[in-house]
Amino acid sequence: MTEHVAVTDNGAVRTIRMCRADKKNALTQAMYTAMAEAIAKADADAAIRCVVIAGAPGAFTAGNDMEDFLKASDSDGHPIAKALDFLRALARGRKPVVAAVDGLAIGIGTTMLFHCDYVVASTEAKFLTPFIQLGLVPEGASSLLAPRLIGHQRAFALLVMGKPLDAAAAHGAGLVNALAPPGQADAEAAAAAAAISALPPEAVAMARGLIRPPADEVVRRIDDEAELFAIRMRSPEAKAAFTSFLARRK
């Protein structure tokens, strides 16, 4: 586990909170592993009926921690192996997932939401997926799920053109269920999770299975994207984009 992910249970609701506010909750390999394990353990625990994924005030997550990400990319194995474990856990998870989004949701901070069943966002939330600008491709089965949820044109603008969505636009597009005042997304997400947990769990599980895409289909797309992602990581375009990105940070 890592101190940057806090897992707490309140009755039938498990909250998985990203706790790296000083880095805008940029995700490390250890954080992905902790979140994947928390989802898997929730699935195995009959007392848990709903999972909430939350961040810190002002930052849901800024996406991958770039230094950690590039270090993992230079090692043996798949460059986003830990992120893939987390995404597969989301795709195959049997418990409903509610997200509480306050502030930035960049990269996987946005794509993970396509796997959630209910999303609450503060009016200050912002959604951005700069994959193409980094010479990469979308991940997390977003190339499959985003067009189905928000339509092809909106998905193209978000995933390919890298155009951001503010909270109102995300709500209008269907990515977000409910908007909350700044600082209130957690409370409204907790209320939604409590309402879900109060429903008959077997009926919820069956209904959820009927309305979600088959997990095997979603995981296949996650893996197909990941193969292309790894290829793109070695491309001249991606290397140039990352060099430029790191130079701007100095």
How far apart, in whole angstroms, are the C-alpha atoms of residue 55 and residue 57?
Answer: 7
pLDDT on residue 158:
98
**Structural domain count of the chain:** 1
What's the angle, vertex CA 10, arms to CA 9 and CA 11, rounded to 5?
Answer: 110
Q: Is residue 247 part of a domain?
A: no
Give the pLDDT score at 80: 85
pTM of the entire predicted model: 0.94
pLDDT for res 246: 75
Does residue 202 belong to any structural domain of this protein? Answer: no
What is the per-residue pLDDT for 60?
97
Domain assignment present for 92: yes
At residue 106, the pLDDT reads 97
Domain presence at residue 123: yes
Q: Report yes or no on 190 lying in a domain.
A: no
Residue 240 belongs to a domain: no
Task: Mark out the alpha helices in the chain (DSSP H runs).
Answer: 29-44, 66-74, 81-92, 108-111, 142-150, 152-155, 167-173, 185-197, 201-211, 215-233, 236-249
In a domain, 177, yes or no: yes
Residue 57 lies in a domain: yes
pLDDT, position 1: 57
The CATH number of residue 124's host domain is 3.90.226.10
**Tens place of pLDDT per residue across the chain (250 aa):** 589 999 999 999 999 999 999 999 999 999 999 999 999 999 999 999 999 999 988 899 999 988 777 776 666 567 789 999 999 999 999 999 999 999 999 999 999 999 999 999 999 999 999 999 999 999 999 999 999 999 999 999 999 999 999 999 999 999 999 999 999 999 999 999 999 999 999 999 999 999 999 999 999 999 999 999 999 988 999 989 988 877 776 6
pLDDT attached to residue 73: 63
Question: What is the extent of the structural domain holding 49?
Answer: 5-183
Phi (first) and psi of residue 44, to 5 degrees:
-85, -5
Q: Which residues of 159-171 are buried (b: 16+ CB within 10 A; e: fewer)?
A: beeeebbebebbb
CA dihedral 32→141→188→206, nearest 10 degrees, is: -110
Position 58 scores a pLDDT of 87
